[in-house]
Amino acid sequence: MNNRQKLSVIIGVAVIALGLQFVFHQAFVAQLLITVVGGIMALGMFIDMIKTLRTGKYGVDLLAITAIVATLAVGEYWAALVVLIMLTGGDALEDFASRRANSELQALLDKTPETAHRITDGAVTDIAVNDVQIGDRLLIKPGEIVGADGDVIEGVSTFDEASLTGEARPIEKQPGDTVMSGSVNGNQAVTIQVAKLPADSQYQKIIQLVREAEARPAHFVRMADRYAVPFTLVAYVIAGLAWFISKDPVRFAQVLVVASPCPLILAAPTALISGMSRASRNGIIVKTGTTLEKLANARSISFDKTGTITNGVLNVDQVLSTSEVTPTELLQLAASVEQGSSHILARSLVSHLDGQPLLPVTNVQEVTANGVSANIDGHLVKAGKLDFVTERSQVHKQNQTAVYVSRDDTYLGAITFVDTMRAEAPATMDCLRRLGVTHIMMLTGDQQAGANQIAKQAGIDDVHAQLLPADKIAALKQVPKHQRPVIMVGDGVNDAPSLATADVGIAMGAHGSTAASESADAVIVKDDLSRVVSARIIAADTMRIAKESVLIGIFVCVGLMLIAATGVVPALIGALLQEVVDTVSILSALRARRGKKRHPADLAGLNAEIVNA
């Protein structure tokens, strides 16, 4: 039975008991009903508490159980009922604040191919992916997801591995090259020979890594639970002294009723819900209240590169023309030839023209994995790989992704591409440091040189490149205890295991992988990296207000306990006074909802938030 159902049962019992006592004048039956239900509830809470203690955690349950048992034992059954209602109501509220998405792996599973095209004696047969065996020959059609790791034996195509490695540029695969399951084929069909069973493939390894990370969450003591132990001890001391001095066990129950830890149970979840609401208004979906607590205390943060610190698309970097043409003419020729191609570099070329007209082309021919040729004004223009456009060996080959151009076999130049950094990235790193994040890392599957270049521009010193998902997990686990909690920010399927492993996983969900969003603790739905800073600020504000609200409730409770110790506050009145304490605590906690909505990339507003934090 979940907490919501428990609350419904207790409210139902309360209604029935009220009818029995005040309508039918059956006080004994009402007392018996409340005592039986209350005893069963207290026993269930006690069993749950023992299970919790065995995991090394502790909380506020012991004091509440004692208050319920003590009031039932001395016949103050209405007081016990009030405590039960507030306790289960608080737990139900906390469940709402801290609910976890139940489909962390669903996006990964949905994307896993279910069928494969097996080639046997020249015939193609569709079979279930789970029936694929090592050595089978599979046809991978254009646009399909590879279902098993294997080696290309026929055909040439490009494969999008961004969701696995974070590499934005499609990788060309030809006979002899290895393709990974989960990568997406380009525009040409290829035949591969299976090297691993689907269950042992790279994609399934990612799924398994997420499962393992979710099964071993890091130990974290919530704020309310940290206050629970000293508060419980103080309550027991005051209640015990009241009983010892007065020799009246009712006095013990009277003190514990007003000591019921409802401020701990209600104030913190209310503040967390309010903080989550504020975060959502700023384009940040926080899935659990515990996430806000960890965010507020985080000392380290790790970023993926492609699609997180960078925009995740290849843009024109340099136009390197020879004396034969101007840079503008070179770009126009290349874009005109490539205008009909669906390749990512062709799309970048056309978009970079920025309004310049495309030249009319005829006799367009695309040579798979090499380039495109076409006639422009009676001249044969080629754009693509260096050895496709010219045979001149003395031409310098670029170290980065490039499209080379020739006209009538005369080399005209090259156009290079780069994955550009987000404009807000440097300011984001600076703001995080000002907010107390002392260790900033980059964890990426990209090449070391490109990672170092972006990291330097963004202001990140600790760079780990050429990492597989398991390597990212290892790097996160190596973060020392004094630099935790650690945040991981990513967007691709390859980031899903590390997002689940980190103390706080934040997914860039605007254009990122659904799998990453489902595995993360928080999702930024605006395409704005600086929202990470907003999340940190909102979390810190929320926890400050939650702490203040809890302390207000505790101080008021201690005052009421001292008054109740004198015997002037009956148990039922004490239980009702708890409602006053709860109201004060909740109203204080609701302050966490305040805060202005910030527009994307509003760095001036972001700095104002930091100053006020």
Query: Percentages helix, strand, coil for the chain, rounded to the nearest 5?
Result: 55, 20, 30
The secondary structure of 462-521, three-state, reads EEECCCCHHHHHHHHHCCCHHHCCEEEEECCHHHHHHHHHCCEEEEECCCCCHHHHHHCC
Band (101; pLDDT cuts 50, 70, 90): very low
Report how many helices (DSSP H) and strands (DSSP E) the chain contains, helices first: 23, 22
Residues 322 and 174 in one domain: no
Q: Which two tokens stand for residue 524?
A: 């930024």
- Report helix, strand or coil for 398: coil
Please give the Cα distance from 47 to 580 (Å, whole number). Answer: 30
- What number of other Cβ atoms are within 10 A of residue 575's Cβ? 27
Report the pLDDT averaged over residues 93-99: 53
- pLDDT for 601: 47
What is the pLDDT at residue 98?
44
User: 408 and 439 share a domain?
Assistant: no
Residues 394 and 428 in one domain: no
Helices (H), ranges, 184-326: 202-215, 223-246, 249-258, 262, 268-281, 289-297
For the segment 487-503, the average pLDDT, to the nearest whole number, is 86
The pLDDT of residue 263:
67
Neighbours of 543 (CB within 10 A): 22
Task: Determine, yes or no, domain membership for 130.
Answer: yes
**H or E stretch covering 69:** helix 61-73
> 92-96, 303-307, 376-380, 384-388: which has the highest mean pLDDT?
376-380
Separation of alpha carbons 321 and 490, rounded Å:
37
Q: 438 and 529, same structural domain?
A: yes
* Distance in angstroms (rounded) separating the CA atoms of residues 152 and 297: 48
Q: Return the amino acid letter for 510.
A: A
Which residues lie across from 318 on neighbouring strands? 416
Q: Are 506 and 529 members of one domain?
A: yes
332 found inside a domain? yes
Q: Do residue 426 and residue 299 come from a single domain?
A: yes
CB 139: neighbour CB atoms within 10 A? 18
In a domain? residue 360 = yes
Distance in angstroms (rounded) separating the CA atoms of residues 464 and 28: 71
pLDDT tens for each residue of 252-294: 888 888 876 666 667 777 888 888 888 888 888 888 788 898 9
What does the pLDDT read at residue 202? Answer: 64
Spatial CB neighbours of 232, under 8 Å, sequence gap ≥ 6? 60, 62, 63, 261
- Structure token pair of residue 154: 């026929």
Q: Do 478 and 528 have their domain in common?
A: yes
What pLDDT, on the 0 to 100 scale, is given for residue 597?
53
Tell me the C-alpha distance between 175 and 371, whole Å: 18
* Structural domain range at position 399: 313-418
Which of 388, 386, 392 has the alpha carbon at shortest distance from 404? 386
**Assigned domain for 290 exists:** yes
Contact 20, 26 (CB under 8 A): yes
As given in the structure block, the two tokens for residue 266 are: 């209600």
pLDDT tens by residue, 448-481: 888 898 999 999 999 999 888 889 999 999 999 9
342 occurs within a structural domain: yes
Residue spans of alpha helices (H) in 99-195? 106-111, 162-165
Give the whole-angstrom CA distance, residue 469 versus residue 611.
37
pTM (global) more than 0.85: no
Query: Which CATH number does the domain housing residue 339 bear?
Result: 3.40.1110.10
pLDDT band (50, 70, 90) for residue 602: low
3 state DSSP class of 560: helix
266: number of CA atoms within 13 Å, CB side? 26
Tell which wins on pLDDT, 555 or 111: 555
Domain termination site, one of 369, 398, 418 = 418
Mean pLDDT: which of 74-88, 298-312, 385-399, 568-582 is highest? 298-312
The more confidently predicted of residues 459 and 492 is 459
Residues 441-445 have a mean pLDDT of 91
In our burial notation (b when 16+ CB lie closer than 10 A, e otherwise), range 66-81 reads: bbbbbbbebebbbbbb
Question: Does residue 303 share a domain with residue 371?
Answer: no
* φ, ψ for residue 599, nearest 5 deg: -85, 155
Taking 50 as the threshold, does the pLDDT of residue 106 lie above it? no
How far is it, in rounded angstroms, from Cα 283 to Cα 525?
Answer: 5
Question: 480 in a domain, yes or no?
Answer: yes
Model confidence band, residue 600 (pLDDT cutoffs 50, 70, 90)? very low
Per-residue pLDDT, averaged over 496-504, amounts to: 90
Range of weakest confidence among 172-186, 238-252, 290-304: 172-186
Q: How many domains does the chain have?
A: 3
What band does 224 get if pLDDT is binned at 50, 70 and 90?
A: low
Question: Quick one: pLDDT band at residue 187, thresholds 50, 70, 90?
Answer: confident
Q: Please indicate, yes or no, whether residues 306 and 429 belong to a single structural domain of this protein.
A: yes
Report how far apart, in Å, the C-alpha atoms of 373 and of each of 146, 174, 337, 384, 533 are: 30, 21, 6, 9, 48
Q: In the chain, what percentage of residues exceed pLDDT 70?
A: 81
Between 268-281 and 77-98, two packed helices, what is the crossing angle to 10 degrees? 30
CATH number for the domain harbouring residue 510: 3.40.50.1000
Indicate the average pLDDT of the chain: 81
49, 58, 38, 41: which is closest to 1 by C-alpha?
Answer: 41
Output the six-digit token pair for 42. 């207290």
Pairing of strands 504-508, 486-490: parallel
Among 32-36, 37-41, 64-68, 193-197, which stretch is predicted with the lowest mean pLDDT?
64-68
Query: Where is the domain boundary, 537, 567, 594?
Result: 537
- 64, part of any domain: no
Provide the sign of the torsion angle of the four alpha carbons 568, 577, 289, 598, taken in this order. negative
User: In terms of Cα–Cα distance, which of 582, 550, 514, 472 is closest to 293?
Assistant: 550
CATH code assigned at 166:
2.70.150.10
Count Cβ neighbours within 10 Å for each residue of 20-57 and write b for 16 or more, e otherwise. bbeeeeeeeebbebbbebbeebbeebbeebeeeeeeee
- Those residues whose C-beta lies under 8 Å from the C-beta of residue 378, and which sit 6 or more positions away, are none
Residue type, 137: R
3-state secondary structure string, 249-284?
Answer: HHHHHHHHHHCCCHHHHHHHHHHHHHHHHHHHHCCE
Of the candidates 515, 537, 559, which is a domain's last residue? 537
On whether both 444 and 502 belong to a single domain, the answer is yes
Strand order in the sheet with 379-384: 310-321, 410-421, 402-407, 379-384, 371-376, 362-367
How large a percentage of the chain has pLDDT more than 90? 27
Token pair of 553 as six digits: 């409730």
pLDDT of residue 105: 36
Considering the domain architecture, whether residues 339 and 431 belong to the same structural domain is answered as no
Instruction: Measure the CA–CA gap between 529 and 305, rounded to whole angstroms.
Output: 12
Question: Strand 171-173 and strand 157-160: pairing?
Answer: antiparallel
> pLDDT per residue over 402-434, tens digit each?
899 999 989 999 999 888 889 899 999 999 999
The residue that leads in pLDDT, 79 or 462, is: 462
pLDDT at residue 325 in the model:
92
User: Rounded to the nearest 5°, which phi and psi values hold at 552?
Assistant: -60, -45
pLDDT on residue 169: 67
Q: What backbone torsions phi and psi does residue 301 show, to the nearest 5 degrees? A: -145, 140
Structure-model confidence comparison of residues 19 and 368, the more confident one: 19
pLDDT at 281: 81
Which helix (H) or strand (E) segment is 310 a member of?
A: strand 310-321
User: pLDDT at residue 103 above 50?
Assistant: no
Of 229 and 129, more confident: 129
Q: In the predicted model, what is the mean pLDDT of residues 164-193?
A: 81
Q: Are residues 337 and 436 in the same domain?
A: no
Query: What is the C-alpha separation between 132 and 193, in angstroms, rounded?
Result: 11
What is the per-residue pLDDT for 209?
55
Q: Is residue 81 part of a domain?
A: no
Please report which confidence band the pLDDT of residue 52 belongs to, taking 50, 70 and 90 as the band edges.
low
